[in-house]
Amino acid sequence: MFLYEKCGPLTAAHGDMRIFAPIAYPKVRHAQIVPIVHIEAFALASWFPICWHVREPRPTLVVLRSLQRDGSCQPPGSPDTATSLPLALRAYPFAVGAMNGEAAQRKLLIADAIPDQPTDVGAPIMTPEGQAGRGAQMRLRAVAAFIEAAEFTDGMTEDLCKNDLLEPWRLEFDVGSRPIVVPDLLVVRAGDFNTPKIFRFIRNFGSVAASFLGAHRISLYRAGILVQAARSAAAPPQVN
């Protein structure tokens, strides 16, 4: 998973490890593309376009936080505003979506991440009493919510792919003196929203899928904000 360069299973040995506010970690601040689940679509649609990222074995539902690969030029308020953070980043450094196999074999994974901009002294994962600290609990809630929703999210994605409802979303803009291209993104084909294919998709997945598609369509208008942010950053400074 592109958010995590190196992950390992969480063990009791991690109990003394300190974790910090999510934005203390560079990946949280700078990740351009972040995986999400359908339950956070309405919350994130006010911040970022929601689309799919082409990956194997299937596309992944994501938010696009910036046109820039280095994650700069995010919309105003992101990533400092807590409500702009997807579950995957609220869980950081605990990993989401990195678990395969049956539930019985799942392991909780933690990224080998160093907070380069700590906002405080952090807190240990485990308290001296052997309980998960509050910071760890908050992250575990985010992991739990992501995992529980992921199966349904992946099911919808698989169905959209199987029925050829996704198409490439070509993002190419001139920013300053050079073009910016964000490749490998997919959206639901606009022309298919009034076809029997969407009727069958919603009949299969219900009102949750209908709401989700609505949030996806609403979110795409945030692409303009990403372009504005990129162009503002590239504009030459005003001379008085």
Partner 1 sequence: MASNTEPIRFTAVADKQKTVWRRPKSFAIVGEISQIPLSDSELLLTSHYLPIAIDYVNDRPRVVAITNPRFQRAPAIGPNGQWLKGYLPIALRCLPFRSTPKPAENTVLEIALNLEEADEPGAPVFAADGKLSAAVNQIAALLQRLEDGKLELQRAAEKLLIADVLTPFQMTKLTSAKAAQSRSLTVDRNKFGALSNSRVAHLVRDGFLPIDLAAACIFSQRLLPMLVSVETGGAPADNRARVIHTGIDELTTAFGLDVQVDDSELFSFEQFEEVSRRYERKN
Binding site for partner 1 (CB under 8 A): 9-12, 15, 39-40, 42-43, 45-46, 82-83, 87, 90, 103-104, 106-108, 123, 126, 130-132, 134-138, 140-145, 147-149, 193-194, 198-200, 202-208, 210-211, 213-215, 217-218, 221-222, 225
DSSP classification of residue 7: E
* Torsion region of 34: left, alpha or beta (phi above 0 gives left; psi -120 to 50 gives alpha): beta
**Farthest-apart Cα atoms in the chain, separation:** 65
Residue (130 or 237) nearer to partner 1, CB: 130
Q: Which residues of 190-223 are buried (b: 16+ CB within 10 A; e: fewer)?
A: eebeeeebbeebeeebeebbeebbebbeebbebb
Complex with partner 1: residue 1 or 208, whichever CB lies closer: 208
Minimum CB distance to partner 1, residue 239 (Å):
26
Task: Sort strands 178-182 and 109-111 into parallel, antiparallel or unpaired.
Answer: unpaired
Nearer to partner 1, 196 or 236 (CB): 196
Whose Cβ is closer to partner 1: residue 130's or residue 179's? 130
> What is the Cα–Cα distance from 87 to 96, expressed in whole angstroms?
9
In whole angstroms, how close is the CB of 189 to partner 1 at the nearest point?
12
Measured from the CB atom, the residue of 100 and 240 that comes closer to partner 1 is 100
Query: Is-cis flag, bond preceding 196, omega within 30?
Result: no
Least distance from partner 1 to the Cβ atom of residue 132, Å: 4
Closer Cβ to partner 1, 108 or 161, answer by number = 108
In whole angstroms, give the CA distance from residue 128 to residue 132: 9
CB of 150 to partner 1, least distance (A): 12
Burial of residue 229 (CB within 10 Å: 0-12, 13-18, 19+) is buried
Kindly tell me which of 183 and 214 has the beta carbon lying closer to partner 1: 214
Shortest CB 70 distance to partner 1, Å: 26
CA distance 75 to 189: 25
Is residue 79 within 8 Å of 64, Cβ to Cβ? no
Alpha-carbon span 108 to 61, nearest angstrom: 21
- Least separation, in Å, of the C-beta of 207 and partner 1? 5
